[in-house]
Amino acid sequence: MSHSPETPPRMTIGLVAHDGQKRAMGQWVAANATVLGHHALVATGTTARVLKEQNPTFDITGLKSGPFGGDQQLGALIAEGHLDCLIFFVDPMEPQPHDVDVKALIRLAQVHEIPAACNRATADLMITSPLFGVLRAGSFPPAEERFAVYANRKV
Ligand SMILES: O=C(CO)COP(=O)(O)O
């Protein structure tokens, strides 16, 4: 899609929802279809399947299921500068067998200063913000610069 100065270029948006939140994310995607339709959507495996069932016209790239490496695939996209924002509907009431992967994904979003919404309220704020589409991968200096003390530590 071409873009004018009024239309920010396409972002790649990561979508993830724990099982107890997948339907809610499907509803959120449907409610924000107009905005999301301008961007590339990439989701962990089962989330992608449920979102497509609820929104059949949407083009969503599915990765592996979270516990099989999907969270880490999203993390790799962040580390490589290919993911512009992350929307992750976390279920705070269910223990996750792959909790370490969940933490790693959220941590990488923090390290690389990627906008990350971990519940619907924050996702609503994010998608209605004038900074949506402006703050994205590469908007801030690279992590190696921001964490220069760590990057340049003596070992
Ligand atoms: O487990 C997840 C996130 O931690 C999501 O993975 P699925 O979308 O495959 O259920």
Q: Is the pLDDT of residue 100 over 50?
A: yes
Taking Cα atoms as reference points, which of 41, 38, 52 lies closest to residue 4? 38
Q: Give the single-character DSSP code of 3.
A: -
- Report pLDDT for 1: 44
Arithmetic mean of pLDDT, 99-119: 98
Is the shortest distance between the CB of 44 and ligand 1 below 6 Å? yes
Q: For 69-81, how does the pLDDT look when each residue is reduced to its tens digit (9 = 90+)?
A: 999 999 999 999 9
Is the shortest distance between the CB of 70 and ligand 1 below 6 Å? yes
Regarding an ipTM greater than 0.85, the answer is: yes
CA 93 to the chain's CA centroid: 21
Ligand 1 center–CA 71 separation, angstroms? 7
What are the boundaries of each domain within the chain? 12-151
CATH fold of 12-151, please? Rossmann fold (3.40.50)
Q: Provide the whole-model pTM.
A: 0.94
- Report pLDDT for 9: 74
Taking Cα atoms as reference points, which of 57, 61, 59, 51 lies closest to residue 83? 61
Q: Is the pLDDT of residue 56 over 60?
A: yes
Token readout for 116 is 């990350």
Taking Cα atoms as reference points, which of 55, 53, 126 lies closest to residue 86? 126
Arithmetic mean of pLDDT, 40-63: 96
Helix ranges (H only) for 1-119 are 22-31, 33-36, 45-54, 70-79, 99-111
Separation between Cα atoms, residue 69 and residue 82, nearest integer Å: 17
Residue pair 124/32 in contact (Cβ under 8 Å)? The answer is no
| Binding residue positions for substrate | 18, 22, 44-47, 65-66, 98
Instruction: Give the pLDDT band (50/70/90) at residue 105.
Output: very high
